[in-house]
């Protein structure tokens, strides 16, 4: 059962801000097996960084290169 909940947490981590979501997951599961959580979390991050190593560290996989750079203007800092 813990493994199923861990898979839900993996989805949440990849779909949302990973550090924030992972921190919330760890804080809410303090009574679970620490070793299992540590191995799973470290394994997950190892896989992510390993894949990023093959991609030269580009998390967008080159998709952001299609957009032109914009010149920042003063009105970009004005909040509505």
* Predicted local confidence at residue 33, as pLDDT: 65
Closest CA relative to residue 32, chosen from 59, 61, 3: 3
Tell me the domain boundaries of the chain: 2-58
Q: How far apart (Å, rounded) are the C-alpha atoms in residues 67 and 73? A: 18
Mean pLDDT of 63-68: 84
Residue 35 has pLDDT above 80, yes or no: no
Residue 57's CB is within 10 A of a number of other CB atoms, namely: 8
Q: How far apart (Å, rounded) are the C-alpha atoms in residues 22 and 28? A: 10
Residue 39 has pLDDT above 70, yes or no: yes
* Predicted local confidence at residue 60, as pLDDT: 75
Tokens standing for residue 72: 């920042």
């Amino acid at each position: 059962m813990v493994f199923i909940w861990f898979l839900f947490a993996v989805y949440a981590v990849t779909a949302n801000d990973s550090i924030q979501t992972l921190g919330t997951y760890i804080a809410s599961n303090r009574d679970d097996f620490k070793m299992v959580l540590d191995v799973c979390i470290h394994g997950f991050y190892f896989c992510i960084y390993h894949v990023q190593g093959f991609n030269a560290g580009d998390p967008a996989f080159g998709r952001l290169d299609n957009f032109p750079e914009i010149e920042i203007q003063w009105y970009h800092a004005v909040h509505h």
